[in-house]
Amino acid sequence: MERQLSEITKCPICFDELKNPRSLPCLHSFCLRCLKRQCKDKEPGAKEPCPICRREFTVPQRGPLGLNFNFYLQNLIDIKHGSSDVRCEGCFAIDESNLATVVCVDCDLNLCERCSLPHKQSEGGPHDVIPLSALNRTEPEQESTPKGNVGYNVGQIKHNIT
């Protein structure tokens, strides 16, 4: 099972563990840095074939940074390293996704300190931003599960792969 997990979390370009995994529309995933290398001669809007299935995708305005960050694979990698840390869902635009420290109750997003700032100062009034640790202690909806939603999901994944 451990080996299978390593296969899933391996980048097909560098054969190393995926670093900052980004998904193409065909759902193949690669390291951000590998995709950057792959698309370095391409203008935004140009077509680039997937290195695996050759299905073409459009290079986003911001380059591979604009592709979807694959939270699922990142979670698997974190679990593999024995970490159940939650990733920030606001760090799509930068190279690394920070660890989430707070959750915005209004947007239902896990966020790092930096990404939570616009929520705290939102124009329509500040959003309800609470520390993740507080969320894990209290469970408003599912009182039967001892952990918060996030911990529960990670637990599910862990269960499925072991």
User: Could you give the residue ranges of the DSSP H alpha helices within the chain?
Assistant: 2-8, 32-38, 71-80, 113-120, 132-137, 149-161
Q: Is 32 in the site for Zn ion (CB under 5 A)?
A: no
Among residues 5, 8, 10, 13, which is the contact residue for Zn ion, using CB under 5 A? Answer: 13
Contact of 11 with 18, CB cutoff 8 Å: yes
Among residues 46, 53, 93, 117, which is the contact residue for Zn ion, using CB under 5 A? Answer: 53
Contacts for 132-140: CB closer than 8 Å, 24+ residues apart: 132/86, 132/100, 132/101, 132/102, 132/103, 135/103
CB of 13 to Zn ion, least distance (A): 4
Show the tokens assigned to 142. Answer: 């599912």
Q: Is 68 in the site for Zn ion (CB under 5 A)?
A: no
Helix (H, G, I), strand (E, B) or coil at 78: helix
Q: Binders of Zn ion among 106-125, rule CB under 5 A?
A: 106-107, 112, 115, 119
Contact of 88 with 115, CB cutoff 8 Å: yes
Per CB under 5 A, the segment of 39-47, 68-76, 101-109, 133-141 that binds Zn ion is 101-109
Q: Is 11 in the site for Zn ion (CB under 5 A)?
A: yes
Count of positions on this chain that bind Zn ion (CB under 5 A) = 21
Within 13 Å of residue 135, how many CA atoms lie on the same side as its CB? 21
CB of 96 to Zn ion, least distance (A): 9
Binding residues for Zn ion (CB under 5 A): 11, 13-14, 26, 28, 31, 34, 50, 52-53, 88, 90-91, 98, 104, 106-107, 112, 115, 119, 127
